[in-house]
Structure 1
Amino acid sequence: MKSTTIRMLRAYLLVASLGAVCIDACVVIAMLVFDVPERIFTSADFRIAMAASLLLLTLAARSAAQAAFEAALASRHVTLDGECRRGRVAMRDDCPHRLLVLLHVRIHGQQLAMSGVSGA
């Protein structure tokens, strides 16, 4: 498997894992604070709903990362080396959407070149 594919899959796995942690926290709070019975969280319907929730969370994170990348391009915190969107990405140190831009770069298999310039 190519290293870009592995990085892309790791990015998706990271987003899904963070979503699963949030869902687990909500389940624990529901059980402890609201006295929701455990049998509700072991049903097939709940599992299907949570799988769908993870899918939607992943798509929402991808969409947020895309929007952050486009905003960083517009503000010149990110530049593309090359003519197409698959080129090498240079990101300035002071990029306000840094984590989401990094997620976008990982998801799309682009190469990252850090640019130390912090003023424009």
Structure 2
Amino acid sequence: ADPDSLFGVQGCSTDPTFPFNLPLAEWAPEWFKPTGDCGYDAPIVPDGVTLSSVQQWFVDLYQQSEGWYLLPPWHFMNMAQACMLAFGLCLILLLVMSGAWALKLARGK
């Protein structure tokens, strides 16, 4: 089984498909229209753009690692995996807080 298939990385299309077949790329193209190279997540700076030294350092870091990684030198965790981890941690925190709130309500009666 392909570990990236969890994140929908089976292939690319120039015509995006959204849940419920909503034409989001037509309604709000500045947000949803696909641009760039498919499957390539390293930064591409447009011609004529001047970057600060900090911005250039980050661009070089991710271009040298050939993509976005949480820890670029070691190619550890891509963007989708990092987002899934962040979502999972937030969900766990929300469940703990909800449990504490419910426990407080139960003890208060």
| Same-fold status (TM-score > 0.5) | no
Greater relative contact order (CA < 8 Å, ≥ 6 in sequence): 1
Give the structure with the higher percent helix: 1
TM-score (norm 1): 0.27
TM-score (norm 2): 0.29
Bigger radius of gyration, 1 or 2?
Answer: 2
Give the structure with the higher percent strand: 1
